[in-house]
């Protein structure tokens, strides 16, 4: 069915709330790691919808899952369950520490559920004085008022009236600060094992060990926000699997649906029992269409070939970026894990990450930023090696243009 409307970038300004400022490019078709816009220009996708399109665009397994389930059931209220939701929950519990799963539609919703569960658990187990949530500077946990307040970037939560209380932000990877702040009033410590929006900053192993030790000492829960790091992004099914600790609650979204909205909160039976009937819910959470696609994603991602392939592709990116940097000297370091990679701009280009993103689009490659000083890459986990080579060649041309001024 065709539209008679004028579907241009200018129409966005006419009909959309102005909280976004999208580029002039309007993609209309994607296949694998290639995307084409309205004018037929081709792009190589190193952005992946911000770590969402973990299998690229129009992956056959996901298209087949959508078509097959689309001819069965689209939606049921949660007064009933459905087979795709049961299958996906079973896959997640079989593959992780978790014993129980709650489904939602976005990372913010999964994190909202995790935070509410932590507060309810503490209230019922230890009393109303145990309500402090410790989170970390530069963290990002979503855009609901609770999650954006827990996120460590005040600019996102300021200007909306009184914020949720009993939330403390500490420097990331600072064991001493955590030791000084945590107490028996702390109900949860929430963190990303690898900060994404905050600049691609990995959690130190010693810091993670301290988080687990101190949480146990003070009867607090550890919440891992794996919305961006989960479902193969770091070369493990979930990033916690490459650490020495196990969280009490884990959240997942983004790649879990490969582009279809779905999220999950994972936890143990003992903790989960505190979300009794009526304490929380979601109209679309556990939707059969979303869960059918989630099952196809996990089946495709959670295997040795795909996960080892992520690590191989990571090395290709690192080698390619280091080679580019040897020519143009724009990065102080390349950091991250798996296919969540950040190039930290050096002092000569500080604050200019957006310029590199814009130049890259002009050269036919989609990329990201993580703040003003870090360029970010989150491509498909199965991006063809040839697309990495070609995409980096295009990105090098973009860097050359920025450097030349």
**pLDDT at site 124:** 97
- What φ, ψ does residue 85 adopt, rounded to 5°? -65, -40
Give dist(CA 234, CA 381) in Å, integer: 9
Q: CA separation (Å) from 43 to 31, 40, 204, 222, 362?
A: 11, 10, 36, 40, 9
For residue 225, indicate whether it is catalytic.
yes
Give dist(CA 334, CA 149) in Å, integer: 30
How many residues are there in the chain? 405
Query: Is 184 labeled as ligand-binding?
Result: no
For the record, the structure tokens of 215 come out as 């949480």
Strand partners, 251: 225, 265
Query: Is 282 labeled as ligand-binding?
Result: yes
Q: Which of 45, 202, 225, 248 is catalytic?
A: 225
Domains along the sequence of the chain with CATH? 9-59+304-404 (3.90.1150.10), 73-301 (3.40.640.10)
Question: Sheet harboring 132-136: ordered strands across?
Answer: 100-104, 263-267, 249-252, 221-225, 186-191, 132-136, 167-170
For residue 329, indicate whether it is catalytic.
no
**Phi/psi zone of residue 58: left (φ > 0), alpha (ψ -120 to 50 degrees), beta?**
left
- What φ, ψ does residue 149 adopt, rounded to 5°? -75, -35
Query: Is 143 labeled as ligand-binding?
Result: yes
Give dist(CA 391, CA 247) in Å, integer: 36
Query: Is 107 labeled as ligand-binding?
Result: yes
Give dist(CA 266, CA 96) in Å, integer: 9
Give dist(CA 258, CA 64) in Å, integer: 13
Residue 263 CB: number of other CB atoms within 10 A?
28
Give dist(CA 232, CA 104) in Å, integer: 20
- Angle of helix 60-70 versus helix 288-301 axis, rounded to 10: 150
pTM reported for the whole predicted model: 0.95
Give dist(CA 168, CA 174) in Å, integer: 14
**pLDDT at site 127:** 95
Residue 273 CB: number of other CB atoms within 10 A?
12
- Tell me the per-residue pLDDT of 323-351, one tens digit each, with 9 for 90 and over: 999 999 999 999 999 999 999 999 999 99
Query: Is 268 labeled as ligand-binding?
Result: no
Q: CA separation (Å) from 71 to 1, 68, 74, 384?
A: 20, 6, 8, 31
**pLDDT at site 5:** 87
Q: What SS3 class is residue 300? A: helix
**pLDDT at site 2:** 56
Rg of the Cα trace of the chain?
21
Q: Whose CA is closest to 243, among 202, 205, 287, 191?
A: 205
Measured in whole angstroms, how far is the alpha carbon of residue 132 from the centre of its chain?
Answer: 25
Q: Whose CA is closest to 202, among 227, 239, 169?
A: 239
Cα separation of the two ends of the chain? 45
What tens-digit pLDDT sequence spans the chain (405 residues)? 556 788 999 999 999 999 988 899 999 999 999 999 999 999 999 999 999 999 999 999 999 999 999 999 999 998 999 999 999 999 999 999 999 999 999 999 999 999 999 999 999 999 999 999 999 999 999 999 999 999 988 888 999 999 999 999 999 999 999 999 999 999 999 999 999 988 999 999 999 999 999 999 999 999 999 999 999 999 999 999 999 999 999 999 999 999 999 999 999 999 999 999 999 999 999 999 999 999 999 999 999 999 999 999 999 999 999 999 999 999 999 999 999 999 999 999 999 999 999 999 999 999 999 999 999 999 999 999 999 999 999 999 999 999 998
Q: Which of 202, 254, 331, 356 is catalytic?
A: 254
Q: Whose CA is closest to 148, among 115, 114, 108, 116?
A: 108
Q: Which of 43, 103, 140, 377 is catalytic?
A: 140
Give dist(CA 264, CA 272) in Å, integer: 13
């Amino acid at each position: 069915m065709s539209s008679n409307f004028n579907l241009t970038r200018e129409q966005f300004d006419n009909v959309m709330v102005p909280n976004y400022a999208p580029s002039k490019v309007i993609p209309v078709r994607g296949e694998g790691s290639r995307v084409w816009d309205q004018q037929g220009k081709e792009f190589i996708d190193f952005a992946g919808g911000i770590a969402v399109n973990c299998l690229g665009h129009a992956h056959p397994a996901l298209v087949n899952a959508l078509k097959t389930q689309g001819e069965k059931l689209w939606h049921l209220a949660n007064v009933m369950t459905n087979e795709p939701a049961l299958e996906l929950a079973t896959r997640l519990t079989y593959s992780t520490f978790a014993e129980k799963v709650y489904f939602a539609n976005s990372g913010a919703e999964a994190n909202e559920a995790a935070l509410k569960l932590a507060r309810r658990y503490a209230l019922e187990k230890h009393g109303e004085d145990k309500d402090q949530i410790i989170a970390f500077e530069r963290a990002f946990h979503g855009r609901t008022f609770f999650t954006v307040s827990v996120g460590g970037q005040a600019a996102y939560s300021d200007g909306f009236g009184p914020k949720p209380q009993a939330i403390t932000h500490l420097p990331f990877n600072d064991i001493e600060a955590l030791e000084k702040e945590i107490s028996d009033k702390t109900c949860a410590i929430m963190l990303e094992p690898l900060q994404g929006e905050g600049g691609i900053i990995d959690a130190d192993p010693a810091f993670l060990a301290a988080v687990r030790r101190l949480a146990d000492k003070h009867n607090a829960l550890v919440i891992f926000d794996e919305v961006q790091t989960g479902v193969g992004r770091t070369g493990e099914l979930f990033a916690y699997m490459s650490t020495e600790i196990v969280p009490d609650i884990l959240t997942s979204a983004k790649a879990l649906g490969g582009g279809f909205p779905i999220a999950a909160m994972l936890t143990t039976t003992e903790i989960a029992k505190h979300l009794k009937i009526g304490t929380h819910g979601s109209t679309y959470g556990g939707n059969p269409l979303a869960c059918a696609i989630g099952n196809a994603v996990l089946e495709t991602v959670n295997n040795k070939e795909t996960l080892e392939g992520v690590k191989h592709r990571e090395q290709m990116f690192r080698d390619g970026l280091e080679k580019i940097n040897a020519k143009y000297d724009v990065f102080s370091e390349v950091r991250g894990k798996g296919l969540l990679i950040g190039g930290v701009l050096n002092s000569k280009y500080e604050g200019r990450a957006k310029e590199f993103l814009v130049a890259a689009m002009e050269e036919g490659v989609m990329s990201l930023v993580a703040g003003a000083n870090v360029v970010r890459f989150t491509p498909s986990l199965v991006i063809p090696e040839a697309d990495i080579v070609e995409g980096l060649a295009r990105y090098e041309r973009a860097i050359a243009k920025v450097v030349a001024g």
